[in-house]
Amino acid sequence: MFPVRVTTLTTGVVGTLLAALPADRVLLDDDVLASYRHDEAEWAPSGRPLAVVRPREAREVQAVVRACLEHRVPLVTRGAGTGLSGGANAVDGCVVVSTEAMREIRVIDPVERYAVVQPGVVNDDLRAACAAQGLWYPPDPASAPWSTIGGNVATNAGGLCCVKYGVTRDYVLELEVVTGTGELVRLGRRTAKGVVGYDLVGLMVGSEGTLGVVTEVTVRLRPARPAERTVVGYFASVVDAGRAVEAIGAAGIVPSALELVDRHCLAAVDAWKNMGLSVDADVVLLGRTDAPGEAGDAEAAGMLRCFEDAGATWAAASTDAEEAEALFSARRLAYPAVERLGPVLTEDVCVPKAAVPEMLARIEAAARRNDVLIANIAHAGDGNLHPLLITPPGDDAARERAQVAFTEIMADAVDLGGTVTGEHGVGLLKRSGLALEQSAAVVAMQRAVKAALDPHGILNPGKVLPDEVPA
Amino acid sequence: MFPVRVTTLTTGVVGTLLAALPADRVLLDDDVLASYRHDEAEWAPSGRPLAVVRPREAREVQAVVRACLEHRVPLVTRGAGTGLSGGANAVDGCVVVSTEAMREIRVIDPVERYAVVQPGVVNDDLRAACAAQGLWYPPDPASAPWSTIGGNVATNAGGLCCVKYGVTRDYVLELEVVTGTGELVRLGRRTAKGVVGYDLVGLMVGSEGTLGVVTEVTVRLRPARPAERTVVGYFASVVDAGRAVEAIGAAGIVPSALELVDRHCLAAVDAWKNMGLSVDADVVLLGRTDAPGEAGDAEAAGMLRCFEDAGATWAAASTDAEEAEALFSARRLAYPAVERLGPVLTEDVCVPKAAVPEMLARIEAAARRNDVLIANIAHAGDGNLHPLLITPPGDDAARERAQVAFTEIMADAVDLGGTVTGEHGVGLLKRSGLALEQSAAVVAMQRAVKAALDPHGILNPGKVLPDEVPA
């Protein structure tokens, strides 16, 4: 098909896009469009885009936003599509902007300690480039081998090391953004500090593409850190494991990771990768410390003591780096491994550390009550739990029961002083959870901010905020 | 005077306040009102308040906001009045809300590691209460003995340790706020992570009372840290000192403080406190590390090497904790000491670390060009410089020259890729600087956010954002 002919025949937003952009940026093939309908949120609804655009640079993104503004067409931005809440799902008749062709690492500055990247750069690629210069970009979601910095910014992604080093928002210094009115702007600053005006960078981070389209990201870096020591504990019950997590906090230890993996996840990883990890325990805790020298020895010994005092059936400080890495790989592979068993609904509740045992008990109760298999992985040191609700393929009744359990677990988290989403974002799946967690007055503030920065309502409509209830 | 009689006679917002609040909350005496006109920004304009209110709790603050809404009267919130940008200055006919009677530390939770405080709690008081439980609240502006947590939140205050530990925003988890529409809401969460909706907490932090009135603050805490080691270096020129700062960054060292004090400041502190600190050097650098054990020894040795390689005329790792503390006290006292010499205009520019020598040279040039005495203190490790423009009392011509230099220094900072305010806020003094630093499109976004959250424009009007230029 000749692009010129398409241009001639095509009216509406697609015509404007084809006129404004090089032809290879705009994808219109039905099968291709179908492959951009949704992210990894299994059960969130998705629609059919009119077009997918793969821009290479900011001015091209701006052209797309302006085309959508002109035709009042919704615009949905997506990175690698690894999101777990449906935040990047298409709506019928929208334009999807995929950042996959925006993969340039533009600057890595070892003195100022920042990197400037296009939004489509994959997290692990940035981390590798930084490591080559003795630098470190901490945020490490389990999706790091696939997910993009732009997607991480959109969801304010966390990860394993954020128990000590914070989340994506803590690292974003500056953003280049196309606004809801089609302007290309720079927000924030590259200096270590800065308080000029409102924190629009912080506002954009975690806004899931509803307030602007990010075209460049400047992130703060840290110097490379010392090698980590790993401590492993097996526990006969989630309650014991929860007590170990609480004891570590009370001891003033700040681990560089403190992960929980249950036997369902280990079995699923074993079934897939044959790593020989399945253990005769209900729950495994994986602790790490990157404190240097003797301080690291002391922290590792302290964690081990907390594991043992909480009733670990087996615990040891790993002396074998390969074995430790295998356990952490299993943690990272847990989600895709479990997905092989059937459709998965992923929770992301975060509760106070002291409430972790109670929350895990309530998750077990929800599983029993609704006859749903729930596997657990958790950033236990943060109180951020990822119950994975697994249903047999094609079993609609099980899906319905899982959805009931999903809602109950969100309510339990709020009841325990927690939040319905620690790091995955609201997307589509947790909009009712947002309304549960925040008062009507706060939701009204959110809506006011959205209306202020996206006055025409074209940016990822229907995400994050709950539907307005007519008065 | 009988409160009842006042109520009867007083109409307008004062009448509403007296009817809604216990009588001792509302101050109307002329001399008292005059003492609440302005913060410590010497030259920012200020007006006369109609009333000063000292509420004790959130519901009382809400009553004040609602009274101001009813009468469309501006409301200016202030903490201890130690601000340096005029952000808390009264405007004619406003109501000033002082948080000085809201001093309760409500919770210090050692397991979850957070504290819940009323906004009028003094920074050092919170730090002391945390220390008693083996915990640490890092943000440490030089004003910590006097300034309040609410004021620190309003300006997103930094301090000495933020070169390693970040600024106030990095520690605020949850805020209770009275909004611009008079609602009492809770924003954010107390869990370690959370991404429900837009980051309204981050938006409030640093908004200088223009988006809401904070009535309670929940801050993240850290475990107490190891004792610091101090390294001191004397330099014959600011350029040499700047090179030392750059070398420390390039060596991958993250000091827990890296402060610059020039001879003007040391002499001023000596003249006041007779501490015997004046030295035969143009500039002193004070470095600190709190890395534990051998790692700390290595970092201190590394800083010392950087000082020496950059041409320090004298440098040593301090073995005397008292001497080290005296030097840091001198740093903290520099501002009030210099203020004794005459009216001071305080800059707060922040530039890339590599630009620190050039920025210091430009500040010297501005001093010479405008015949103004400029003393320098700086959070050198952050590139955050505080040139102090000192004028003789009563010398109007010198004041005018200082204002020219002030504006030139802001422009130089922006020219070098920096910002006009690293940690003091825009207030009144840097509104023109904001317009210099941010594009018209970004300023429009700021205005849109302000209008969304303060639709009636009663919250600290005229601060932060530049005046709108009629089209």
Q: What is the pLDDT of residues A260-273, one digit of tens each?
A: 999 999 889 888 88
Report CB contact under 8 Å: B191, A111. Answer: no
Of B113, B193, B434, the CB nearest to A197: B434
Other beta carbons within 10 angstroms of residue B316's beta carbon come to 16
pLDDT digits (tens, 9 = 90+) for B362-413: 999 999 999 999 999 999 999 999 999 999 999 999 999 999 999 999 999 9
Radius of gyration of chain B (CA): 23
pLDDT score for B2: 42
Instruction: Tell whether the model's pLDDT for residue A27 goes beyond 70.
Output: yes
ipTM: 0.94
Residue B44 Rama label (left phi>0; alpha psi -120 to 50; beta): beta
**Is the separation of the CB atoms in B313 and B252 below 8 Å?**
no
pLDDT digits (tens, 9 = 90+) for A363-403: 999 999 999 999 999 999 999 999 999 999 999 999 999 99
Of A197, A246, A446, the CB nearest to B198: A446
**Is the separation of the CB atoms in B275 and B207 below 8 Å?**
no
pLDDT score for B463: 97
Instruction: Let me know if domain A105-223 sits in CATH 3.10.580.10.
Output: no
A78 vs A119, A135, A141, A394, B56, CA distance in Å?
10, 28, 17, 28, 48
pLDDT digits (tens, 9 = 90+) for A39-78: 998 789 999 999 999 999 999 999 999 999 999 999 999 9
User: At A2, is the pLDDT very low, low, confident or very high (cuts 50, 70, 90)?
Assistant: very low
What class is the B3-98 domain?
alpha beta
* Spatial CB neighbours of A141, under 8 Å, sequence gap ≥ 6: A123, A147, A152, A157, A158, A159, A423
A189 vs A181, A200, A205, B84, B445, CA distance in Å?
22, 11, 14, 21, 16
Question: B191: burial class by Cβ within 10 Å (0-12, 13-18, 19+)?
Answer: buried
pLDDT score for B6: 44
Instruction: Tell whether the model's pLDDT for residue A462 goes beyond 60.
Output: yes
Question: B436: burial class by Cβ within 10 Å (0-12, 13-18, 19+)?
Answer: middle
Count of alpha carbons within 13 angstroms of residue A311, beta-carbon side: 13
* Spatial CB neighbours of B468, under 8 Å, sequence gap ≥ 6: B447
What DSSP character marks residue B57?
S
pLDDT digits (tens, 9 = 90+) for A313-372: 999 998 677 878 888 888 888 888 998 999 999 999 999 998 998 999 999 999 999 999
* Spatial CB neighbours of B469, under 8 Å, sequence gap ≥ 6: none
Report CB contact under 8 Å: A448, B446. Answer: no
Hey, what amino acid is at A35?
A: S
Indicate the range of A96-105, A172-181, A186-195, A238-247 predicted with least confidence.
A238-247
Q: What sign does the CA torsion over B230, B231, B232, B238 have?
A: negative
* Spatial CB neighbours of B471, under 8 Å, sequence gap ≥ 6: none
Residues of A in contact with B194 (CB under 8 A): 350, 419, 421-422
What class is the B226-271+282-329 domain?
alpha beta
Euclidean distance between CA atoms B188 and B166, whole angstroms: 19
SS3 of residue B336 by DSSP: helix
The residue whose two tokens read 């500090």 is A193
Euclidean distance between CA atoms B179 and B200, whole angstroms: 11
User: Bridge-partner residues for B262, per DSSP?
Assistant: B283
pLDDT score for A331: 85
- Interface check for B300 against chain A (CB to CB < 8 A): the answer is no
A420 vs A167, A248, A381, B20, B160, CA distance in Å?
17, 24, 17, 38, 36
- For range A285-312, the mean pLDDT: 94
* Spatial CB neighbours of A283, under 8 Å, sequence gap ≥ 6: A234, A235, A237, A238, A240, A241, A260, A261, A262, A263, A376
Question: B88: burial class by Cβ within 10 Å (0-12, 13-18, 19+)?
Answer: buried
Tell me the domain boundaries of chain A. 3-98, 105-223, 229-415
pLDDT score for B226: 87
pLDDT score for A252: 86
pLDDT score for A7: 43
Hey, what amino acid is at B421?
A: T
Residue B110 Cα, gap to closest chain A Cα (Å) = 7
- β-pairing verdict for B314-318 and B344-346: unpaired
Euclidean distance between CA atoms B98 and A448, whole angstroms: 28
pLDDT score for B261: 93
pLDDT score for A119: 98
Report CB contact under 8 Å: A111, B211. Answer: no
Virtual torsion, Cα A198, A200, A202, A205, nearest 10 deg:
170
**Is the separation of the CB atoms in A155 and B311 below 8 Å?**
no
Euclidean distance between CA atoms A462 and A203, whole angstroms: 18
Find which of A179, A196, A199 to mutate to test the B interface (most B CBs within 10 Å of its CB). Answer: A196
Question: A371: burial class by Cβ within 10 Å (0-12, 13-18, 19+)?
Answer: exposed
pLDDT score for B205: 98
Residues of A numbered 260-289 whose beta carbons fall under 8 angstroms of chain B's beta carbons: which are they?
Answer: none
CATH number of A229-415: 3.40.462.10
Beta-sheet strand order (sheet of A51-53): A26-27, A51-53, A95-98, A75-78
In A200-304, the DSSP E strands lie at 212-220, 222-223, 229-235, 257-262, 283-289
Euclidean distance between CA atoms A392 and A429, whole angstroms: 20
Tokens of A117: 């990247």
Euclidean distance between CA atoms A292 and A296, whole angstroms: 5
Report CB contact under 8 Å: B438, A196. Answer: yes
Closest by Cα among A382, A376, A422 to A155: A422
pLDDT score for A1: 39
Euclidean distance between CA atoms A155 and B356, whole angstroms: 35
Let me know if the fold of A105-223 is the same as that of A229-415.
Answer: no
Report CB contact under 8 Å: A352, B190. Answer: yes
Residue A438 Cα, gap to closest chain B Cα (Å) = 8
Give pLDDT < 50 ranges for chain B: 1-8
- For range A442-447, the mean pLDDT: 97
| φ and ψ of B153, to 5 deg | -65, -40
> What rounded mean pLDDT belongs to chain A?
93
Find which of B111, B187, B198, B218 to mutate to test the A interface (most A CBs within 10 Å of its CB). Answer: B198
The CA-based diameter of chain B, rounded to the nearest angstrom, is: 74
Residues of B numbered 208-227 whose beta carbons fall under 8 angstroms of chain A's beta carbons: which are they?
Answer: 211, 222-224, 226
pLDDT score for B471: 60
